[in-house]
Structures are given as C-alpha cells and as structure tokens.
Amino acid sequence: MSLKSLDRELLVVVGAGGVGKTTLAAALGLQSAKAGADTLVMTFDPSLRLKDALGVGEEAKERPAIVKAGTKGRLEVALLDAGTTFDRLIRRYAPDAAAAERIFSNRFYRDLAGNLAGILEYMAVERLFEVQSERRYARIILDTPPTRQALDFLEAPDRIVNFLDSGAIRIALKPWWEQGGGLRGMPMRLAAKGVEEIADRIIGMRLLGDMLEFFRAFVPLYDGFRERAEEVRKLLRAPETLFVLVSGPGADRIPDTLFFARKLAERGHHLGPIVVNQVHPEAPAPGAPGPLAAGLALFHFLGQRDREGVERLRRLLSRGEPLLAVPLAATPPTDLPSLTSLGATLLAQLPG
Amino acid sequence: MKLLDGLARLQLVVVTGKGGVGKTTVAAALARLLAEGGRRTLLLEIDPRESLHQLLGTEPSGGKIVKVGPRLAVQNLQAQAVIEGLVREKVRVGVLAKKIVASPVFQHFTEGAPGLKEMAILGYALRTVKGEYRHRADVVVLDAPATGHGASMLSAPLLLAEAIEGGQLGEMAQDLAGLIADPRRCGVVLTTLAEEMPVQELVELVTLLRERMGRPPELVVANALYPPFPANAPAPRSGALTETLALWEQRRAVNERELARLGQAWKGPLVELPLLPVDRGPMLLAQVADALGEALS
C-alpha cells in the first residue's frame, strides 16, 4: 500500500497528551517501512507493551534500534531523553573536552538544566536536526512529547533558545566580556552591577554563581544553538514536512483540535490529516431491562457522543484536510500485527 | 476517620495525573465537597486555556476569582501574572516595575527558568490560606498541570531549595518544600485511568512521592471505569450487539488488569469512579461529586 498524502520526508505527529500519538506514530512507521522506505520513528515515552511489541529497550536512547518486523524498508526506533541528548550535544559542540567538563560539573546544569521549561521539546528538535542531517532515512516520523497543549511542542524550542540567549545573560556577562572595554561599556557595567545586586538579594549568591558559570561555559555553544534552531524552524515549515494532528473523541475535545489546526496554519506549517482516535463505535440502543441494560446504555451514549463529535469537527474544519476516525479497539494495539492493521485502517481512509 | 474529613483539614490539596484522565473533573468535585463540608475553598486552574468553566456551566473567568457557590470560588491562575505581581511588590517604584516586567529579558527568563512558575503558583496558594490576599480561603485545591510525569509541581520547591542557598527565593523554596512534605498541611490526590500508560506513570509518581519527598499521596482516584461485565450475560442476538459486548468485556478486562497492577504498587486509599453516560458539564460534575463524596465518607 502507498502512503498517499503521507508520502513526505518528515511526519510530525502532534496532539494533546493521552490521545494515542505514540501508538499511531509506530503504526505509521510500520506502514512506511512496509511501503519500502527506510524509516525512523522518534518517540518519547512509549508504554512497556509498545516497547516490547517493537522489541526496543533502553539502548534506543543512545542509538536507534532496529525493529524486526520483516518490512521491505528498514524500520528503526529512537527513544528521546532530554538528559542524554543534552549531554551529547555538549560533548559534540563544546570547543574542547575541558569546556564540556566545565558544564557537566556545574551544579546548575546537573540539578536544574534537566528541568528547564521545554527542554524535552528542544532536545527533540536537536535530535531531529542531527538525524535529518545524517540522511540515513527516507522518512522520519516524529512523535512529540506528552504536553497538555499540543502547541507547547512548537513553542518550547523558541522558549529555550530565548532563555539561553536571553539578554539577562548577556547583561550579566557583560562585565567579563567587556573588561577594559572603555567608556562605551560603562553604563552597561553599572546596570549589570545593579541587576546583580537585586538578583543576589532575591535568588542568592550561590545559585547566581552557578548560573553565571553555566551560561559562561555555554557561550561558545550559543551561536550553534541559534543556527540549528533556525534550520529546524525552516524544516518544520518545508513542503516535505507534514503535521498529523491527533485528537481524542467527544465534543469537548473539538475546541482544542480546531485551535491547534488554526495555529499550525497561521505559523506556516503544512497540516495533513486530522486523526480522531479511539472513537467508540456505534452501539445498538438498549432494549429490555436486564443485567446488560445499564452497560449497553453507556456504550450507546458513547457511540453517539463520539459520532456527533466527529461530525461536528468535520463541519467546523474550514480547509480541506481529511478527517480520519479511528475506532476504539477492544484491546489496545500493542503487538506488531495489531499495529500494522491500525496503520492500514488509517491509510485506507485517506483519499487518493 | 473519614477520608473526606482528613482532606478537609488540609491547607492545600494538589490534584495531579497524566493528561486526559479527568483530573480537572476530580479536582472540581473535590473542591465542591470541601466547600459543602464548610471550608472556604479556592479551586485553582493553571491551564492557560480555560476548561473549568465548561464543567461549572459558567463564563470563562479570564484570571479573576469567580464565586461559583457557597464558600466555593475558582480562579484561572497564570504563573506569569503571579511573578509580575511579585515584582511590583518588591520593586516599589511603579515605573521601574513596569519596565522590568515588560522587558523581553524578564519575559524570556521567567518563561524558561526551571521551577519558577511552579513556585509562583504554590506560593500564591500558600499566601491565600495564610490570609495575605484580599480573597481568603481555608483550603486551596490545585488542578496541577499535566506534565510528562505530573510531578514538577510537587518536586520544584525541593529541587530549588537544594540548589539555592539563601536569598528570598531560597527561603520561599524552603517554605514551600516544607509545605509539600507536610501531610498535615498538604495533600496529594493522584488521578488515573485504569489503562496501561496512565497507571505506569501513576506508579512512578507514587514511588517518587515516597522516596524523594518522604510522603505518600492521600488518595488515588481511578477514573472513568467501564462497568463490570455481567458474569452470566445472555448470548447476543445481533451482530452489532456482539461487537458492543466484546468491546465492553475486553475494555473492562483492561481496567481490571490495570487496577490489579495499581493495587500491587499502592495499598492506600483508592476510589473507583465509573465512566458516566453524561456530557462534560455541571451534570457530570454533580454526579462525580456524589460518587466521590460517597466513596470518601
């Protein structure tokens, strides 16, 4: 089977947490490899069952692991881990081993950098850049981290770059950079001194010292960070990149889905199919009272609720994106055959 | 002692769990029960895209404190707004405060700095119950954001308290870490679905709370369970019915398997809430509150 409109070099699977992105990314990966493309699925936090199904363990954090699915194209899975990626980036881009060591031994880096807001998303982007520039795959499928709001994924990388690059750091570092810098540096130095005093009063000297040291050690890496972020920004808007938006069923998810579809378009991304996942199939109206009546009434309600949700979403979508409804399976798809059939169900609904 | 009475003595109840498990509904139901029990309750929603108002059948609050019943108020609280408020408090000169808050440096730093937003939210809750703001409450129920592991809200103060020595922020971190660690003042309610991923995260969270923070949660809520499948169900007569029954039976089996796994890791109080044939709104909230109230008394 061909991948139809999903035949792109990069598929980004986005959506709110808990809607089944990871499973769908794996299912699409299998279809892509079956169609003959060497494919990499980059994912964050697959369930144990899914990892078992794909035959992937912790080692996939270090390098992509091969999925033995007997597909025509190669299928590999990489697990993303913010800490591992951050360490590797520093090792790779620091000017020398001593500079890397300075960062690794910094207390701010060790205790707090892993908790920088959006670090996971940023690291996803870094890994994507790394893998993409190696050109080992015909297709990459990027599963995105479990955020409450799907939009967080797109905003987080900018947030991190802004933070690392923020003027605060520049100002704080000015005294070191501009030592003996003459008159021009004077007002800056005075301002920096004021900022430092306030900062000391509020955050304390130890943390401040750790942070300054961290950012100083980071100076040689700044430009690379910004350049790569820029490259990835372009890549995420390129015509060969397609976003697959995944949503849960039910009317109360619709505003989120519409909001995100609109935002993607506004930001110049290419939006592909919208997948409403885990849709309860329609169930017959409950008949006579009995031990099954209450349960059947529930399933009847859920079937109707989800069908109405899909219909309403279809009406509200202004552009021509196809809307795919994936029915809730009796058992979660967590082995290769059920993942393969999930992917096939999805593709069968695509036009063309 | 009844579980609800125990929760009613607390100053702060943090409700957390993976995204999409019904955390907001459970938080709102609990807040309602506490208010009905006589406590002045403030329910805080952190998500910038408000959804609590749908559940309550009210208008979006836009950050204001809205009274929604006797002794019950809700607020959509943005960390950035709290941080800006703090700056205005500390920097007495209005013009200067305005300049700081508006500067991209400040914006970028507070957006990215680890733990800062969590601290701001928790600090706001603490000051509310201490009566430092105009709106006072006996207890704050916090609908904590669902991050990857739902734990950042609980672990941020400890992390910062360890990283910072001295300074006002350091003292605040110490204060808040103390609040979180004290089961007489702060309660943790973990919400989950009886499905594989949510239970896996819940088990990790229970371990983290025990080992890192030296305190177990007060309560685990397993939400939206499919009803038990009748043991001697009559054989279906139609094809469509066969499919529905198979879906019911197997989805319930997943629930039971995951409840058993949960039971291995968590021997404390566990409330099971049914999946209800009701749309999200005031009616759903009322029914969940009833079910929760019954289970907790």
Provide the pLDDT for residue A181. Answer: 39
Q: Taking residues A203-219, what's their average pLDDT?
A: 71
Which of A171, A290, A299 is nearest residue B244 as measured by Cβ atoms? A299
Q: Is residue A275 within a helix (H) or strand (E), and if so which, with residue range?
A: strand A271-279
Can you tell me the distance from the alpha carbon of B117 to that of B176, in angstroms, rounded to the nearest whole number?
13
* pLDDT of A92 strictly over 50: yes
B19 domain residue, yes or no: yes
Residue written as token pair 């404390």: B268
| B7 touches B184 (CB < 8 A) | no
Nearest CA in chain A to B192: A18
Confidence (pLDDT) at A180 = 39
Domains of chain A in start order, with CATH, are 4-153+228-349 (3.40.50.300)
The verdict on residue B190 lying in a domain is yes
Contact present, B128 and B137 (Cβ < 8 Å): yes
Q: Which residues of B touch A263 (CB under 8 A)?
A: none
A110-119, A280-289, A342-351, B240-249: range with lowest mean pLDDT? A110-119
- Count of other CB atoms within 10 angstroms of residue A291: 12
Q: Is A182 exposed, middle or buried (0-12, 13-18, 19+ CB in 10 A)?
A: exposed
* B241 interaction partners in chain A (CB closer than 8 Å): 283-284, 296
Q: Could you tell me which chain B residue has the CA closest to the CA of A20?
A: B197
pLDDT reading at A184 higher than 50? no
Mean pLDDT of A96-112: 83
Task: Give the pLDDT confidence of A311-321 residue by residue, as tens digits.
Answer: 999 998 866 77
CATH number of the domain where residue B290 is located:
3.40.50.300
Contacts of B19 in chain A (CB under 8 A): 16-18, 146-148
Of A17, A117, A292, the CB nearest to B230: A292
Dihedral (CA of A45, A48, A52, A58) sign: positive
Q: Tell me the residues of chain A between 53 and 82 that have a Cβ less than 8 Å away from chain B.
A: none
Q: What's the Cα-to-Cα distance from B54 to each of A253, A277, B57, rounded to whole Å?
A: 12, 22, 5
What is the phi-psi region of residue B13: left when phi exceeds 0, alpha when psi lies from -120 to 50, beta otherwise? beta
In degrees, to the nearest 5, what angle opens at C-alpha B141 toward C-alphas B137 and B146?
150
**In B128-250, where do the E strands start and end?**
139-143, 186-193, 219-225
Q: Render each residue's pLDDT in chain B as its tens digit; 297 residues.
A: 689 999 999 999 999 988 788 999 999 999 999 999 999 999 999 988 788 999 999 988 889 999 999 999 999 999 889 988 888 887 777 888 888 788 777 777 777 777 888 889 999 999 999 999 999 999 999 998 775 545 778 888 888 887 777 777 788 889 999 999 999 999 999 999 999 888 988 998 899 888 888 899 999 999 999 999 998 877 777 788 899 999 999 999 999 999 999 999 999 999 999 999 999 999 999 999 999 999 999
Cα–Cα distance measured from residue B118 to residue B124, given in angstroms and rounded to the nearest whole number: 10
CA distance B281 to B98: 39
Residue A292 and residue B234: Cβ atoms within 8 Å?
Answer: yes
Q: How much is the pLDDT for B56?
A: 93
Q: Is the pLDDT of residue A75 over 90?
A: yes
Hey, are the CB atoms on A292 and B250 less than 8 Å from each other? no
Confidence at residue B172, expressed as pLDDT on a 0 to 100 scale: 86
Find out whether A74 and A39 touch, Cβ atoms under 8 Å.
yes
Tokens at residue A218, please?
Answer: 């980071």
Instruction: Tell me the HSE value of A272 on the side-chain side, using a 13 A CA sphere.
Output: 28
Q: Which two tokens stand for residue B290?
A: 């009833």
Angle formed by the axes of helices B104-112 and A152-164, nearest 10°: 120
Give the best residue of B111, B116, B237 to mutate against chain A (max A CB count within 10 A). B111
Task: Tell how strand B12-16 and strand A323-327 pair up.
Answer: unpaired
Where is pLDDT greater, at A240 or A125? A240
Residues B152 and B205: beta-carbon distance below 8 Å: no
Is position B214 within any domain? Answer: yes
Out of A164, A201, A296, closest to residue B167 by CB: A201
The answer to whether A18 contacts B230, with C-beta atoms less than 8 Å apart, is no
Which A residues, 96 through 115, put their C-beta within 8 Å of a C-beta on chain B? 107-108, 111-113, 115
* Nearest-CB residue to B163 (from A112, A292, A295): A112
Give A-chain residues touching B104 at CB under 8 angstroms. Answer: 162, 166-167
- Contact between residue A188 and residue A178 where contact means Cβ atoms under 8 Å apart: yes
Quick check: A22 and A51 in contact, CB under 8 A? no
Q: What does the alpha-carbon distance between residue A14 and residue A22 come to, in Å, rounded to a whole number?
A: 10
Q: For chain B, give the longest Cα–Cα distance.
A: 78
Is B183 among the domain residues?
yes
CB-closest option in B48, B112, B238 to A159: B112
Share of chain A above pLDDT 70, in %: 82
Show Cβ contacts of residue B253 under 8 Å, excluding neighbours closer than 6 positions: B229
Q: Chain-wide mean pLDDT for chain A?
A: 82
Number of domains in chain B: 1
- Residue A81: the pLDDT is 80
pTM of the predicted model as reported, rounded to 2 decimal places: 0.89
The gap from C-alpha B170 to its chain's centroid, in whole angstroms, comes to 25
Strands A65-66 and A75-79: antiparallel
Element (H, E) at A78: strand A75-79
Tokens of A212: 């300054």
Domain presence at residue B173? yes
Point out the least confidently predicted range of A106-120, A287-301, B9-23. Answer: A106-120
In this predicted structure, what is the pLDDT of residue A185?
Answer: 44
Task: Give B232's contacts in chain A (Cβ within 8 Å).
Answer: 291
Q: A151-182: per-residue pLDDT in tens?
A: 667 776 677 777 766 644 555 555 544 443 33
> What pLDDT, on a 0 to 100 scale, did the predictor assign at position A195?
60
Within 8 A of B113 by CB-CB distance, chain A residues are 116-117, 163
> Between A16 and B25, whose confidence is greater?
B25
- The minimum CA-CA distance between B270 and chain A, rounded to whole Å, is 22
Q: Cβ separation of B240 and A284 shorter than 8 Å? A: yes
Nearest CA-CA distance, residue B33 and chain A, Å: 24
Helix (H) / strand (E) containing A260? helix A254-266
- pLDDT for A240-288, tens place per residue? 999 999 999 988 888 888 888 888 889 899 999 999 999 999 999 887 7
Contact: A16, B227; criterion CB under 8 Å: no
- Beta-carbon separation of B146 and A148 below 8 A: yes
pLDDT of res. A183: 38
- Identity (one letter) of the amino acid at B277? P
The β-bridge relationship of strands B139-143 and B72-76 is unpaired
Share above pLDDT 90 across residues of chain A, in percent, rounded to a whole number: 36
CB B153 within 8 A of CB B142: yes
Closest-CA distance of chain A to residue B166, Å? 5
Of the CA atoms within 13 Å of residue A189, those in its CB half-sphere come to 12
3-class SS at A118?
Answer: coil
Taking contacts as CB-CB distances below 8 angstroms, the residues of chain A near B168 are 201-203
In a domain, B62, yes or no: yes
What interhelical angle do A186-203 and A167-177 show, nearest 10? 120
* A9 vs A50, residue with greater confidence: A9
Domain limits for position B210? 3-78+118-227+269-296
